[in-house]
Amino acid sequence: MTTDATPKVSEALAKFETESKKAKKVTKEGSLELRKFVAWSGDREVGRVTPEHINQYAVRIGQSGADSAQQRLLPIRAFLDFWKEQGWTDIRLASHLRPPRSKTAGASRAAARTGPHAGEGRTYLSQEGYDRLVALLDERKNDRIAVTEEIRRAMADKDFRENAPLDAAKDRQGRIEAEIRELESSLASAQILPENSDGLITRSAVGARMTLKEGASGKIFHYTLVDVREADVRLGRISTQSPVGQALLDRSVGEEVVIIVPNGTRTYIVQDITGS
């Protein structure tokens, strides 16, 4: 966090109202909210305002109700973004301005973060992924025919007590039948995601392509959020049921994302989000 030569929050507000185009769109009610924020901050230096402070303020405002809180926090978000534009802070504090959700909204968000099979029970697939599952189902049905023939041949041996080929064939048949049922269920509930490669979207969801910048190294990473059946880490296709995929769901451009990895945590900034 930048702390050297940063103005006090009240001084930052004066400059924001004078220089920022965003400030001209702030309503009278929004101006009042900005002054309440200054008072709450104790008029400390901008560089000494931490993400924890911002989160505490969001929680406080959240007590007024989810819809009311979102409206009240809009001018604060613009003000905090102005801090980043001026170079007074190193991170986008506005991304930490999240009021707690109601139980209903929280349940909906939890359903979205636990993967596409929650809630509506749908499987969200690209056209390519859907076609791949259809081909895999055809392969398993061919395997079913082959293993049935294996069982028929094995049963020709009248001594069933130590018929290893028969036992192995029946085990394989059970696995094939289970996979066929699962594939048929996934295809029956599948919703094919629209092709929209160039369309910029507001928040990440299943099918979104995300560009992330790692805070420590500055490296750029590209990920696509997909159903678990399309996941392939080597190709940057991240399952929304995985911990990383869940962390990347419902994010917006400019937001800071902290992801827990085996050797610690990594911080990323969302650079852009487009359709699949």
How many structural domains does the chain have?
A: 3
* Token pair in block for residue 186: 């996934």
38: CB partners within 8 A, 6+ apart: 9, 10, 13
Considering the domain boundaries, does residue 2 fall inside one? no
* Spatial distance between the Cα atoms of 220 and 33, rounded to a whole number of angstroms: 36
Does 14 share its domain with 93? yes
Compute the residue count for the chain. 276
Domain membership flag for residue 68: yes
- Please give the residue that has the higher pLDDT: either 158 or 274: 274
Considering the domain boundaries, does residue 90 fall inside one?
A: yes
Least confident of 60-64, 211-215, 250-254: 60-64
Look at residue 259 in the predicted model and tell me its pLDDT: 85
- Average pLDDT (95-99) is 77
**Residue closest to 43 by CA, chosen among 53, 29, 51:** 53
Nearest to 84 by CA among 58, 37, 55, 47: 47
Q: What does the pLDDT read at residue 120?
A: 46
In a domain, residue 197? The reply is no
Q: Are 116 and 122 in contact (CB under 8 A)?
A: yes
Same domain, 180 and 222: no
Q: Are residues 227 and 177 in the same domain?
A: no
CATH number at residue 253: 3.10.50.30
Tell me which range, 97-111, 177-191, 215-229, is most confidently predicted by mean pLDDT.
215-229
Q: Is residue 114 part of a domain?
A: no
Average pLDDT, the chain: 80
3-state secondary structure 162-225: CCHHHHHHHHHHHHHHHHHHHHHHHHHCEEECCCCCCCECCECCCCCEEEEEECCCCCEEEEEE
Both tokens assigned to 75: 């001018």
- The predicted-structure confidence for 198-237, as pLDDT tens digits, reads as follows 445 677 877 888 999 998 899 999 999 888 878 888 889 9
Lateral strand order in the sheet of 264-274: 237-239, 220-226, 209-214, 264-274, 256-261
The residue with tokens 């929209």 is 196
Asked if residue 46 belongs to a domain, the reply is yes
Query: What mean pLDDT comes out for the span 24-29?
Result: 83
CATH number of the domain to which 152 belongs? 1.10.287
> Would you say residue 131 has pLDDT above 90?
no
d(CA 52, CA 158): 74
Q: What is the pLDDT of residue 164?
A: 76
Last residue of a domain, one of 137, 163, 192: 192
Question: Which contacts of 12-19 are long-range, i.e. CB under 8 A and separated by 24 or more positions?
Answer: 12/46, 12/79, 12/82, 12/83, 12/86, 12/88, 13/38, 13/79, 15/86, 16/79, 16/82
Last residue of a domain, one of 192, 226, 246: 192
Domain that holds residue 158: 127-192
Residues 227, 166 within the same domain? no
Q: Which of 108, 101, 100, 95 is nearest to 253 (CA)?
A: 95
Does the pLDDT of residue 197 top 80, yes or no?
no
* Gyration radius of the chain over CA positions: 26
Are residues 89 and 146 located together in one domain of the fold?
Answer: no
Average pLDDT over residues 52-63: 81
Residue 106 domain-assigned?
A: no
